[in-house]
């Protein structure tokens, strides 16, 4: 009797639960449709933000005009914007909503030195010779991040969804120069999840270690000047120390893990041959697949500097320049992103887009494969050997990694070819796809407490395997003069390319 009653009560309860789940899914789908409509309606404004930032072409820590444009656009769209936090004038943090859950988009808008290039031209044709430019496509991160956040905001406002949507545009990603400072300033303390956004030739997400750890330090040796011919015995040559450090590290290379990377540039090699140099300087990057491994190599490098100073009777010091933990991609968030990648799909490339891509690949002497037509499968990417300072954030808060297809396969970043497409139709179509997947994924995280909870559980497990330690010395301040002289050299002459428009979302 009791059993029968239970069955009688049980069936409607299950039915109600199924209905609730079904309605929840339907509500989620409907919200995403609204977000997609907002993106489609504002696609031109998004492209205008990205194109404007392309022509501003600002180097890291000097993204003054770019962040001003983003600030004005986001404030007009109802966001609260803080510019200049953590001691960096071009650090932008924007928020809409209140309380938890709090989901942040993390990205950057800096350009690269010497990257000026007329878009759409296959020949090397700088807009302004020697000037900086977007030869990676960070300019489009500005449009996509703002667009996605606005679309999420529209959905949250209509449905009275509790929580906060935030965007972090960190300065100087190309020099790995800001995120450890953002972490130290506590920006991610009350954030439940972040999604890191980056241009790619593919539509993809991933989990586990995505890229490399890096430590960047500048070693300076201090000697004593003397006439190179008359009394060299009175001198102590700081450039000798630089050379010995270089040779010393080359001797070490054989004994390092195959996964390591180390590269250097001599930033002060003396003045002229007949003056024994009292100053010599060498700038090193050391990388590895994990931060403890990179740190182990770095500690050996420091001992080599000590030895080089001892051999030459010079003094020395080392200055922290930058560091980056490898990005730790969260699988639960990646799965949410992948579902939305499946929902949105690749952009509909036209024959003209494909023809342009193939002509471009041919002219750049790359495999002529055209544009990708399918998203990447989840978990199909190998750990890359490059680094990004947002890696630190992924050891503090669960992080999703998301690439959207706005560049041409085979065209590597950090060379001028990559500055040909960031403002063309391929980029613009990729941005629409990127903003939709990003908005839909944030809506999922914002409205599905279970998804955030499993992301947190996984994060605690995975991050405990390699306990995070900060590389940033406690007394170090951000290098806000970074790239200033270089930027000021060109900024005036670059102004004639500015679009001078005010993008507005509606
Ligand atoms: Zn980048």
Residue 426's DSSP bridge partners are none
User: Which phi and psi (to 5°) does residue 228 adopt?
Assistant: -65, -25
The whole-angstrom separation of Cα 409 and Cα 358 is 10
Distance between Cα 299 and ligand 1 center (Å): 27
The whole-angstrom separation of Cα 464 and Cα 310 is 39
Residues near ion ligand 1 (CB < 5 Å) are 136
State yes or no: pLDDT of 7 exceeds 50: no
Enter the tokens of residue 163. Answer: 């929580």
- Supply the pLDDT for residue 257: 94
- Supply the pLDDT for residue 5: 44
Q: What is the mean pLDDT of residues 363-388?
A: 94
Number of alpha helices (DSSP H) and beta strands (DSSP E) in the chain: 12, 13
Nearest to 281 by CA among 323, 312, 241: 241
State yes or no: pLDDT of 168 exceeds 70: yes
Distances (CA, A) of 433 to 35, 194, 202, 351, 436: 12, 19, 11, 18, 5
Q: How many residues does this entry show for the chain?
A: 506
pLDDT digits (tens, 9 = 90+) for 311-332: 999 999 999 999 999 999 999 9
Q: In terms of pLDDT, which residue wins out, 379 or 459?
A: 459
Distance between Cα 233 and ligand 1 center (Å): 49
Distance between Cα 385 and ligand 1 center (Å): 13
pLDDT digits (tens, 9 = 90+) for 89-116: 999 999 999 999 999 999 999 999 999 9
Enter the tokens of residue 319. Answer: 């200055």
State yes or no: pLDDT of 381 exceeds 90: no
Distance between Cα 283 and ligand 1 center (Å): 21
Distance between Cα 232 and ligand 1 center (Å): 47
The whole-angstrom separation of Cα 346 and Cα 356 is 17
State yes or no: pLDDT of 232 exceeds 90: yes
Distance between Cα 387 and ligand 1 center (Å): 9
The whole-angstrom separation of Cα 177 and Cα 94 is 20
Residue 286's DSSP bridge partners are 215, 262
HSE value, Cβ hemisphere, 13 Å, CA-based, for 468? 23
pLDDT digits (tens, 9 = 90+) for 268-307: 999 999 999 999 999 999 999 999 999 999 999 999 999 9
State yes or no: pLDDT of 38 exceeds 80: yes
Interior CA angle at 56 toward 52 and 60, to 5°? Answer: 125
- 356 near 426, Cβ under 8 Å? yes
The whole-angstrom separation of Cα 46 and Cα 74 is 12
Distance between Cα 391 and ligand 1 center (Å): 12
Distance between Cα 451 and ligand 1 center (Å): 28
Distance between Cα 230 and ligand 1 center (Å): 51
User: Which phi and psi (to 5°) does residue 278 adopt?
Assistant: -90, -10
Distance of CA 81 to the CA centre of its chain: 20
pLDDT digits (tens, 9 = 90+) for 110-128: 999 999 999 999 999 999 9
Residue 280's DSSP bridge partners are 221
Distance between Cα 448 and ligand 1 center (Å): 30
Distance between Cα 138 and ligand 1 center (Å): 6
């Amino acid at each position: 009797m009791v059993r029968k009653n239970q069955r009688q009560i049980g069936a409607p309860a299950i039915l109600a639960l199924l209905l609730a789940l079904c309605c929840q899914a339907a509500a989620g789908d409907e919200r995403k449709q609204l977000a997609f409509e907002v993106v489609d309606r504002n696609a031109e404004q998004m492209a205008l933000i990205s194109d404007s930032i392309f022509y501003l072409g600002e180097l890291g820590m000097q993204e003054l005009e770019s962040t001003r444009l983003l600030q004005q656009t986001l404030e007009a769209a109802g966001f609260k914007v803080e510019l200049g936090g953590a001691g960096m004038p071009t650090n932008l943090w924007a928020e809409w909503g209140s309380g938890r859950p709090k989901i942040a988009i993390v990205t950057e808008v800096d350009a690269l030195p010497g990257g000026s290039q007329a878009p759409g031209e296959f020949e090397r044709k700088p807009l302004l010779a020697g000037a900086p430019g977007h030869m990676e496509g960070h300019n489009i991160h500005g449009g996509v991040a703002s667009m996605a956040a606005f679309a999420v905001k529209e959905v949250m406002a209509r449905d009275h969804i509790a929580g906060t949507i935030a965007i972090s545009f960190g300065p100087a990603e190309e020099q790995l120069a800001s995120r450890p400072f953002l972490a130290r300033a506590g920006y991610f303390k009350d954030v439940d999840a972040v999604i890191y956004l980056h241009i790619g030739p593919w539509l993809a997400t991933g989990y586990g270690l995505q890229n490399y750890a890096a430590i960047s330090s500048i070693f300076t040796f201090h000697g004593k000047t003397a006439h190179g011919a008359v009394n060299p015995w009175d001198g102590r040559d700081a450039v000798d120390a630089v050379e010995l450090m270089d040779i010393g590290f080359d001797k070490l290379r054989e004994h390092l893990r195959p996964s390591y990377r180390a590269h250097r540039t001599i930033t002060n090699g003396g003045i002229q041959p007949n003056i024994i140099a009292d100053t010599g300087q060498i700038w090193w990057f050391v990388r590895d697949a994990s931060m403890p491994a990179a740190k182990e190599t770095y500690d050996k490098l420091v001992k080599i500097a000590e030895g080089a100073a001892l051999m030459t009777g010079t003094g020395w010091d080392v200055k922290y320049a930058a560091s980056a933990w490898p990005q730790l991609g969260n699988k639960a968030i990646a799965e949410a992103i992948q579902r939305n990648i499946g929902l949105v799909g690749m952009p509909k490339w036209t024959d003209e887009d494909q023809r342009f891509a193939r002509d471009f690949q041919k002219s750049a002497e790359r495999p002529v494969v055209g544009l990708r037509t399918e998203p990447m499968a989840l978990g199909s990417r190998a750990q890359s050997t490059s680094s990004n300072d947002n890696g630190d954030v992924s050891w503090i808060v669960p992080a999703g990694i998301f690439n959207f297809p706005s560049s041409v396969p085979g065209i590597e970043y950090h060379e001028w070819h990559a500055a040909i497409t960031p403002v063309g139709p391929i980029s613009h179509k990729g941005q629409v796809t990127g903003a939709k997947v990003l908005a839909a994924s944030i809506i999922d995280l914002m409205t599905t407490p279970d998804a955030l909870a499993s992301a947190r559980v996984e994060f605690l497990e995975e991050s405990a395997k390699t306990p995070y330690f900060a590389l940033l010395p406690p007394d170090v301040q951000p290098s806000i003069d970074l790239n200033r002289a270089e930027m000021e050299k060109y900024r005036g002459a670059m102004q004639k390319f500015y679009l001078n428009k005010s993008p507005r979302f509606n």
